[in-house]
Amino acid sequence: MPASYLVRDFMSAPATTLPSNSPLLEAALTMRRTGFRHLPVVEGEKLVGIITERDIHRFAPSLLSRISQEEYNSIFENTPLERVMTREPLTVTPATPITQAVAILSEKKLGCLPVVDGTQLVGIITTSDMLELLSRILTGAPVQK
């Protein structure tokens, strides 16, 4: 694989985002609707965090607890993402070599890296993007998205 491959060649852009004051319910519904497992959280165009499916599952109360359906729903409706999200996630730039992004994803056991230009979110690169790249390399298919 040529060392000249950059994150910009494989990232998804624009990324689906949510404002930091959005309720947890909106993140859960957006993930269900889109099939995405990671959503960058923004204030304007500035990246301020990331919310993942795992974060939502970790924060949700157990259905086996003695919590009523109304209380359960209230937690999702009234908890802003800024209380649950991972702040200051690791990021890459569009000019980051793809090999470096792969190394970060692998070493840190992350599912995605937001792609920023300064503080502005410009896209996202995920392990699914990397698996698609690997598949293309292994099958001899054209590598460019």
Tens of each residue's pLDDT in the chain, 145 residues: 455 889 999 999 999 999 999 999 999 999 999 999 999 999 988 999 999 999 998 888 776 778 888 888 888 899 999 999 999 999 999 999 999 999 999 999 999 999 999 889 999 999 998 888 888 888 888 777 6
- What are the C-alpha distances in Å from 134 to residues 1, 6, 128? 10, 14, 10
pTM for this model (two decimals): 0.86
Q: Are 114 and 50 in contact (CB under 8 A)?
A: yes
pLDDT of residue 139: 85
Q: In whole angstroms, give the CA distance from residue 112 to residue 45.
A: 18
pLDDT of residue 3: 55
Structural domains of the chain in order of their starting residue, each with its CATH number: 7-139 (3.10.580.10)
